[in-house]
Structure 1
Amino acid sequence: MARFDTLRVTPAGALTLAGDVAPGAKVELLLDGTVIDTVTANDQGAFAAVTSAEPSATPRSLTLRVTGADGVAKMSEESLTVAPSPRAVAEAATAEGAAPAAVAAEVAAAQVLADKPLVTDASGTPRVLAGLSETLVIDTLSLAADGGITISGRGAPKGALLRAYVDTAEVGLVQAGAEGGFRMQLPAAKSGAHSLRVDALDAAGKVLARAEQGFEGIAPPPPAATGAAPARSRIVTISSGNTLWAIARETYGDPYLYVQIFEANRDQIRDPDRIYPGQVFALPGEATPD
């Protein structure tokens, strides 16, 4: 039976979905009846899709069409409500002349649904989508010039092991720090859209918490000419809870250097106190050695 596991939708419309179906099945994602992506489940039946959908000011329905080894396509019994984009809701309400208080109320309602997506089964019984942790957070995801990935985060349960996956492939394992923080160096991913997942595990391997984020892999640069200095450019994909202060502290070891990030990304940042999940910023200068 097809089952939704996790969902994340950024303000820009990047959509990351994971779930479980029959091993090796073809999975089509349908948004309001229109196919927006097709993926194949792995040998354990897990699938992950990273795609995009135009931000909407109204809720939409996401369903799955699953084709197994017998070639028979079946619709999922569950449907997932994709929350309206808070930004699109604000723009639509403002355009209609709504009072600021009314706009704020509509945005807050949209954010509640975005934070706790609802899945409805064939009987109409809803459940809050499980899988995304209330506390485990991926704070930073940065890409080196060669495509290598560095992630850091917080909120892991005490003593937990943290296992990282890119799409459905395991790529890293580390133990959480005493205060629940973690940092991992992961191998480069191919150019294109990917899904990063971090699971916090107890000693028996049970998943205690999970965080997930979409990102765009980058192609490694061509080999540098003899004697040329290697490229040092890095980028970071913003996730919920990020601040320029925290990113600067993580990247440079000095939070006051957030000004460098602000200046390098002025085309995207109007106010350094207001950055949004899904934005991708360049990180200028030298990073603190690991």
Structure 2
Amino acid sequence: MLIVAALLVYQRVNAPDPVGAADVAVATPQAAPEITPDAEVAAGTPDPVGDPVTPALPAPRFDVIYVNPDGTGTLAGRAAPGEPVAVLLDGAEIDRAIADGQGGFVVLLDLAPSDQPRTLDLLADPDGSSPRAAAETRIIGPTTAPVIIAQADPVAEVASGIASDPQPADVGPAPTETTDPAPDSASPTPEAPIAAIPAPPSDPVPTPTDPAQAPTGGATPTPETPAPADPIAPAILSADADGVRVLQPAALPDTPPEVMATVALDTITYDPGGDVLLGGRAQAGGFVRVYIDNQPVTTSPISESGDWRTDLPQVDTGVYTLRVDEVDAQGTVTSRIETPFLREEPATVAAAMAEETSAEGFRVAVKTVQPGATLWAIARERYGTGVMYVQVFEANRDRIRDPDLIYPGQVFVLPDDAQ
């Protein structure tokens, strides 16, 4: 029995595998692994569903603008390279430019005279599906028509000169006294002066009715024509969501560019919410400190472009002395201006220009409120609701004060003891 059992075990261990069994096991198909989107991205397979993201094109912007008294000027700005940019005057297109390969463009302005201020806007891709407007609006002050001095009629001048100074006729020797009243028929007769030729009917020569007004000889006095006033380049303001700033003060022609030797107060703004904002210019790199009746109320940095803006918080209605000190990085007062300041109620300011702001199509209006200052009303439909009122100062020379004087309540920056 033991021998039989051992033989059976030997046969089972050494028996060959069935033919093809291993092949079948190897050839058994395996389920394909599931490929997830993350695996596709990891393997570098493009996503057929997602679209490429197109970067947003920049809005156009103003760089430089200057307008002469006669309305001619230059506007330079930037936009996307190769993109068309329309220039709009009070909402109507007046010119168009194509930005160059660097995005710059230049437009030569030729604005018609206007006794009202106007707005300039930029619109990129004006004919496209998504035109884009500049964030800022330029406001151009009134421009005057060129003064044409009437030229005198040279024919009339010649006739007038001869009439006022006729040449004496050759009458020969002076006649002697005689009792015979009848003149000698052979005596010469004086020639009639050329001035006796009648003037053309369209321009009759007036005859004085008062003997005292009749000319007594010599040149006829010519009434003096007052010399026309020199034209003034319009003020240019910039309005955006942060407020209004002065870019070009109103100035006489051929005035050199203003070099900021002292701090300037350009604007006092009453926004629709009733807040008061001050704005001006100074040397870049420092800051301004504002005082009301010699009490410090706020400090604001001066931007790299030389502009400064600040709120005037918690100031009740009344008349104050407003002082602005320009202070450098070391805390030294480098320049100073001072002016009376009337803090008015917003309703009072609005009432001063109610007629202008109620006009149909109102966008911007201006009115002179005192010598050297104008009040502007600017619609804020692009930046919010309501009307913004801005008092613009045209000159700061009479407000300059000595920066070395020490005022009551003046703030000083003391040196750090550790330095």
What's the TM-score once normalised by structure 2's chain length?
Answer: 0.25
Q: From the CA coordinates, give the structure whose radius of gyration is larger.
A: 2
Structure in which a larger fraction of residues adopt strand? 1
Of structures 1 and 2, the one scoring higher in RCO (CA 8 A, sep 6+) is: 1
